[in-house]
Structure 1
């Protein structure tokens, strides 16, 4: 009788597992166009590890591991296709958000063949396990354990000896990147526990945190414009603007936005324009509030700003509103996603509208809201209404048509290689017609028009495309402005620049330089995109650090460049120094992580569905992603009032951490009527750090409710956790 514990011929079950964890990833990488030696090494290292760990495990134990691994592959492919980056922990809330997933995919994945391929591999493995269930499986030779160790070692050595500028998804499979990042965290934690991690000297933050108005003004006195129109295009990188490509000698030669480029030839362009982070709400915060958003994952500063009653008044809309402007915000999607329904009023917009404002129909089906042609036609009417008033005005527009799933008419889809390119071309035509309409109406004669993007969806093979933004300025005094604005700028400069244009005071809390001044010296700049932390010292040295705090240095006169001269590995201290600099900037709003005060309540009526469909899409208080420090206590107060006497509202409150339910002893379903409002208050301790924490306020029963108060206060246990101070501020947050 054969002994299953000794090596022998490989059975069908092992062969099916080899096909699943080794062959399918290699084939998928090739089909996705992610071919890179480091990437194939990473796939083989992870695949061989899974093979050795799961080869003789029970199917019910191996299956969840394989499902998780396959899910990471699909999530990676979809997010890279959508926004040009790998998923992070901060994306978990969106991956579990039914509205985000449904709208972003449009009902279909960008790479629908990948889950089919993975599913076929999993099914083949399960069938082989079932058919050979009575046959013992011979173990693999012990010597094979050297295979994953060797592959991981070769990959690690390659990253250190011959570092590549290829995108992270080309060099790592997501599970390998998560494993490497976790290992690095353990190493740093152990060094801290042993006291061997003496911190290097901290980098100064003055160049990044203070407004710099020492440059020479490009024209005397305030600008001639009476109004401000800020047009934000979803996900558009600076490489799509021809003058920017030419100025930086970019090898990217696809002319996807000829209309925008034609208008750029008439205005002032800033080729070296930096986007600091991913995600719309983070980009809007940086450009409208003159501050870097989180240069890592965590609670967006726009949400943290809801805890502030002073810093929000320094944002551009609030400053212009104080100067007598009527301030308006209009976007093509609903407002509740990413909490823009609360954040935008809080930073000073007097009128905030989303998809519900538009009365004109769409030209094509688009799950996020208005397609770009319909959006800009409505926006042109909005501008016309503003021009009938006597007040100067500020209008901020945000398009959504170039968000995944990139809808476009059939005529565009037939002309271009991908739906994303077709959607970009459709946006370009819609924007061109809009700008022509503004010119016909005489808007350009008395209005400063700034066209930019919230983030960059990246361009495959283009260096730093995920950080490359653009800023096109059309001003009444165009003859006094250069066509190409020299120097490095970014979203952090926009608020300071626009206040400087109108010769308004610059609040002390703002950062940045003015685009309407010329400077003789370089300046520091920082960005966190694609999992890479990038820092330019303003003196010709560009440093790029990966998720393991390994840094490379380049000689580069500016931040964005098509090429840069590699100077070698940066000193070991560079990683902790630049990470420490980013962490300091991350705390610009909250000088201490304690005594956090959030108000998610609003006087706006909220219509209830007849039943709860999903914990995420039906959340009555929008998206949150909170952090609660170790050793603190959190107090919550909730007030809900039913507005329709004919309906009883049924309310549920849940708490989740990393998308998993957290047991806080909350009551079950609660009934609310017009005569009997809900007033609930409770505390809970945070014995360890809570991250990716979210509240889910759900309701059903028809009619409408008003969440007049949802106060969340976190402080040390011996501090006053009273919520009375927040009760009066609910209206402030939503007005």
Structure 2
């Protein structure tokens, strides 16, 4: 024991323990997580050597907080990458004091507990060597080691600039290094702009992104033969899951998770280069149903903004088809209130909007969001059967939820696949196969245009642009006249125009995009914003990828989605500002400012309560999610909740989150509402910094039901509080 104590007292033991903690362990953990790239290891070594140089001779009580924060960053990186496929950003850092930050979205604890445990043990070993050797001076490091961090950082910078990596950011960077590199690049850009002076940036040309383009050659000689329209949006499914798409772009990804859907793809028209413009379901639905880009910057979803408008919504596909004699229906497997789909879907033209409340069949497995995919498609098949009995043509949009986190699947699927995510995808594939086969047996495919797509992409680790890679499989009665592979670049923004063009119906000028049922000789401009990167293809063979705000790399690429692209260089300055200006112009297509707009998320709907709150997202009673609040603004909220059961009280919680992490704005932990004494609240808070992806979570539990008759939100500049003081509770939404 004494021999071990003496060894721990040696200065070399302290240096070894620090090296083990900040150099050896991170490199081994990177390999264990499957993030192995030369740049990633180089980044780990650069940060580790910097910590050694800075902390080797520091007092343990000074070094300990630094090392704890560094370790917490490492854990947060692994958890956030596992949950949502991105690195933490500076806006996330203050959430590290919140234990919820290090939980993945399943709410079931750490996704990588071994990582945290390994770091903790290494930290305790370092602390033991420090305490054991108290009073023993540490010798100075060799002078040559002081230059090691600088050499490693320079080497990483040189490789990134000369031979840039297309790997995911967490594969190429240690998080502290990535944050440092971002700040340095921002300083460089600001310096360039200061040297340029106040140059007025010309407005970019927008017609290629905003106008309807029907100049292509029609694929069908006559209007489509279909009588009805069925749109099936599969939650989170990327285009790489369809074999025809993988083969068309030569993808190295070969996992065949959806063989049934791939077989159906042999019977229809596939669009391999199909772009998803953003993340989040409501944004994907808006783009495909309203022919417009949603926000490319995490701002308030345009579906919510559209609630303040009574003209643009009439151009959306459901409203247009309804005007031409279709009955229009929307059905999803989850509750409608989340993201305000209970208000948005009727507003854009659906005659009938149903969610979880419509289904009477039982689930095959427990799933917090609602119907598992097999139960959902069984119910949807019955729904189609009811529509077949009516005389009018119909449009039905379906949205699945089973491949949303947390991924759920039956035990036999979990045994067959490596991960719950893969098992959920396999379960969806089988459920969709049964549904499509059922449609065929009923004769629906003979007179219905069926479009199968996804709302967003949950990404695939190691597959280039997987977060933006969608798919569009079209099954039409005249499928023999359509190509199996539709060449060209398309995206969700084209879907409304395409379906109207298929029926040879007039396309409103408020829509944008091309028709999937036409062949174009020229390229087209298209954009996306996923995983924190703004991407733009100019339609002339150049693809740009920009880290916000104004840093871009550009590549030679015939299309948008490709297995690889030829790196041509990087730029900031005018070209990068023009791309940002295009995105900003698209963001303002509905409202010019997020200020002074009143959003009303309340209604007279009776909402049954559960015995307990299980999930902040799935159990939300209102749809006020992902709002935007400018820097320096002030937000006011008014709330009225009433219990409708005369014998029962309702217990209410109201939480606020930003980028899916809890935000403290001084709200009570729990409140009570009764029929005689409804819960009424008026509160406000300042926004000293810009807030994006800001969500309210109104949660309730008890044995009865409630009405949320008022949930009004207005954001304004200080001093403008009198502009919208009268906030009516009976309107869906109003605007100043």
Interval containing the TM-score (normalised by the shorter chain): 0.7 to 0.9
- 3-state SS of 1:158 partner: helix
Partner of 1:270: 271
Q: Tell me the SS of whatever aligns to 2:328.
A: strand
Tell me the CA shift for residue 369 of structure 1: 3.7
Q: Report the Cα distance in structure 1 between the residues aligned to 2:111 and 2:131, rounded to whole angstroms.
A: 33
Q: Which residue of 2 aligns with 1:513?
A: 514
Greater Cα shift, 478-487 or 50-59: 50-59
What residue number does 1:492 align with?
493
Q: What is the CA distance between 1:724 and its match in structure 2? A: 3.8
Name the CA shift for 1:698/1:382 in 2 (closer, same or farther; >3 Å): closer
Residue of structure 1 in register with 2:544 after alignment? 543
Q: Secondary structure at the match of 1:566?
A: strand
**Would the aligned equivalents of 2:652 and 2:701 in 1 still touch at CA under 8 Å?**
yes
Between 666-675 and 314-323, report the one with greater CA deviation: 666-675
Give 1:135-534 correspondences, 5 Å limit. 144-188=145-189, 196=197, 198=199, 201-220=202-221, 222-534=223-535
TM-score where L is the length of structure 1: 0.87
Q: CA RMSD in A?
A: 3.8
Tell me by how many angstroms 1:225 deviates: 1.8
In structure 2, C-alpha distance between the alignment counterparts of 1:54 and 1:93, rounded to whole Å: 23
Q: CA deviation at 1:158?
A: 1.8
* 1:565, distance to aligned residue in structure 2 (A): 3.2
Moved more, 381-390 or 417-426: 417-426
Equivalent residue, structure 1, for 2:730:
728
> Shift in Å at residue 512 of structure 1?
0.6
Counterparts of 1:724 and 1:442, CA distance in 2 = 54
- Which stretch of structure 1 is more off in the superposition, 47-56 or 136-145? 136-145
Number of the residue aligned with 1:641:
642
Distance 1:372-1:59 versus aligned 2 partners, 3 A rule = farther
- Closer, same or farther: CA 687–164 of 1 in aligned 2, 3 Å: closer
Work out the CA distance in 2 between the residues paired with 1:697 and 1:562: 43
8 Å Cα contact 1:362/1:374 also seen in 2: yes
Q: 1:29 to 1:500 in 2, by over 3 A?
A: same
Over 3 Å counting, the alpha-carbon distance change for 1:176 and 1:471 in structure 2 is same
Shift, 1:673, TM fit: 3.1
SS across alignment from 2:509: coil
**Any unmatched runs of 5+ in structure 1?**
1-7
CA distance in 2, matches of 1:163, 1:220: 47
Checking the alignment, whether the CA contact within 8 Å between 1:88 and 1:297 is kept in structure 2 is no
The answer to whether the Cα contact below 8 Å between 2:293 and 2:493 also exists between their aligned partners in 1 is yes
Residue 22 of structure 2 corresponds to 21
* Secondary structure of residue in 2 paired with 1:727: coil
2: distance between equivalents of 1:572 and 1:127? 51
Superposition TM-score, scaled by structure 2 size: 0.87
3-state DSSP class of the match of 2:267?
Answer: coil
Tell me the SS of whatever aligns to 1:606. Answer: strand
- 1:250-277 superposed Cα distances (whole Å, 9 cap, x missing partner): 3434433222222111111112111122
Deviation string for 1:608-640 (max 9, x for gaps)?
567778877765434523332244443333233
Measure how far apart 1:441 and its partner are: 0.5
Q: Following the alignment from structure 2 to structure 1, what is the Cα–Cα distance between the partners of residues 674 and 360? A: 33
Q: Quote the Cα distance in structure 2 between the aligned partners of 1:330 and 1:468.
A: 25
1:659-698 correspondence runs (5 A): 659=661, 661-663=663-665, 672-681=673-682, 686=687, 689-698=690-699
Tell me the equivalent position of 1:586: 587
The answer to whether the 8 A contact 2:76-2:102 is kept is no
Q: Secondary structure at the match of 2:11?
A: coil
* Contact 2:80 2:104 (8 Å CA) reproduced: no
1:388-427, Cα deviation, whole Å (9 max, x unpaired): 3333322222223333454444544454454444433332
State whether residues 222 and 501 of structure 1, in contact with CA within 8 Å, keep that contact through their aligned partners in structure 2. yes
Aligned counterparts of 2:603 and 2:91: Cα–Cα separation in 1 = 26
Give 1:124 shift.
3.6
Shift of 1:569: 3.5
State the Cα distance separating 1:293 from its structure 2 match: 2.1
Q: Deviations over 1:97-116 (max 9, x none)?
A: 99999895373655443233
Q: What is residue 706 of structure 1 aligned with on the other side?
A: 707
Distance in 2, matches of 1:571 and 1:265, equals: 44
Q: Residue 257 of structure 1 contacts residue 428 of structure 1 at CA under 8 Å; is this kept in 2?
A: yes
Corresponding position: 1:30 with 2:37: no
CA distance in 1, matches of 2:204, 2:235: 33
Q: Secondary structure of the residue that 2:397 maps to in structure 1?
A: strand
Query: Is the contact between residue 207 and residue 524 of structure 1 (CA under 8 Å) also seen in structure 2?
Result: yes
- The alpha-carbon deviation at position 442 of structure 1 amounts to 0.5
Name which of structure 1's ranges 516-525 and 293-302 shifts more when overlaid on structure 2. 293-302
Query: Structure 2 CA distance, aligned partners of 1:124 and 1:460?
Result: 33
CA shift digits 1:428-473 (9 cap, x unpaired): 2222221111100011112110011122233344333332211111
Structure 1 residues 182-219: Cα deviation after superposition (integer angstroms, max 9, x where no partner): 44345545666787464654431110011112223333
Is the 8 Å Cα contact of residues 333 and 368 (structure 1) preserved in structure 2? yes
**Secondary structure at the residue paired with 2:460?**
coil
C-alpha distance 709-92 of structure 1, shift in aligned 2 (>3 A): farther
Q: 1:202 to 1:313 in 2, by over 3 A?
A: same
Name the structure 1 match of 2:41: 40
CA contact (8 A) 2:599 2:734 kept: no
Q: Aligned to 2:501, what secondary structure does the other structure show?
A: helix
What is the number of equivalent residue pairs in this alignment? 725
1:575 alignment counterpart: 576
Q: Is the 8 A contact 1:98 1:614 kept in 2?
A: no
Q: Could you tell me whether the CA contact under 8 Å between 2:233 and 2:398 is conserved in 1?
A: yes
Q: Give the direction of change, closer, same or farther, for the CA distance of 1:101–1:308 in structure 2 (3 Å limit).
A: farther
- Which residue in the other structure is 1:3 paired with? none
Change (3 A) 1:698 1:363: closer
Comparing 504-513 with 217-226, greater Cα deviation is found at 217-226
Partner Cα distance (1:61, 1:336) in 2: 49
CA distance in 2, matches of 1:106, 1:381: 34
Q: Which moved more, 1:351-360 or 1:604-613?
A: 604-613
Q: Tell me the SS of whatever aligns to 1:105.
A: coil
**Structure 2 SS opposite 1:321:** helix
Which residue does 1:4 correspond to in 2? Answer: none
**Structure 2 unaligned residues grouped into runs of 5+:** 1-8
Aligned in 2, Cα 1:423/1:661: closer, same or farther, shift over 3 Å? closer
Q: Take 1:603 and 1:731, find their aligned partners in 2: how far apart are those partners?
A: 14
Summarize the Cα distance change of 1:629–1:252 in structure 2 as closer, same or farther, 3 Å threshold. Answer: closer
Assess, with a 3 A threshold, how the Cα gap between structure 1 residues 293 and 133 changes in structure 2: closer, same or farther.
farther
Judging changes above 3 Å, is the alpha-carbon distance between structure 1 residues 445 and 628 closer, same or farther for their aligned structure 2 residues? same
Question: Residues 32 and 98 from structure 1, CA distance in 2 versus in 1: closer, same or farther, beyond 3 angstroms?
Answer: closer
Q: Does structure 1 retain, via aligned residues, the 8 Å contact 2:308–2:734?
A: no
How far does the alpha carbon of each residue in 1:562-613 deviate from its partner, in whole angstroms, 9 at most, with x for none?
2333333457533222122222222222222332332221222234567778
Give deviations 1:85-134, integer Å, cap 9, x for gaps.
44557889999999999895373655443233233334444555555567
500-509 or 361-370, which deviates more: 361-370
Q: Which moved more, 1:384-393 or 1:509-518?
A: 384-393
Cα distance in structure 1, aligned partners of 2:98 and 2:484: 43
